């Protein structure tokens, strides 16, 4: 590992989207609605960055984000 931890992270991210990454974007979007102080927008913005920089599918990132927002809004509605 000549580049260190950052080159390893870059290599993992450039491999393409993974189910784990999309689930993290989904969970961050849900968490933003359920627990407003959580900075879900930051994770969603990073997902948009990955869609452009690492050639992740922009549709998959979009669907994960919107599905998480809808799930979080539904949890808020049921809880309220």
Rounded percentage of the chain residues whose pLDDT exceeds 90: 22
Q: What share of the chain is helix, strand, coil (3-state, %, to 5)?
A: 80, 0, 20
Q: Which residue has the higher pLDDT, 54 or 74?
A: 74
Q: What is the pTM of this model?
A: 0.76
DSSP state of 4: -
């Amino acid at each position: 590992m000549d580049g260190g931890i950052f080159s390893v992270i870059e290599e993992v991210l450039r491999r393409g989207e993974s189910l784990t990454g999309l689930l993290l974007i989904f969970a961050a979007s849900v968490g933003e609605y359920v627990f407003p102080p959580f900075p879900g927008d930051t994770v969603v913005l990073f997902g948009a960055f990955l869609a452009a920089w690492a050639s992740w599918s922009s549709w998959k990132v979009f669907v994960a984000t919107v599905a998480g927002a809808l799930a979080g809004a539904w949890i808020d509605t049921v809880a309220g």
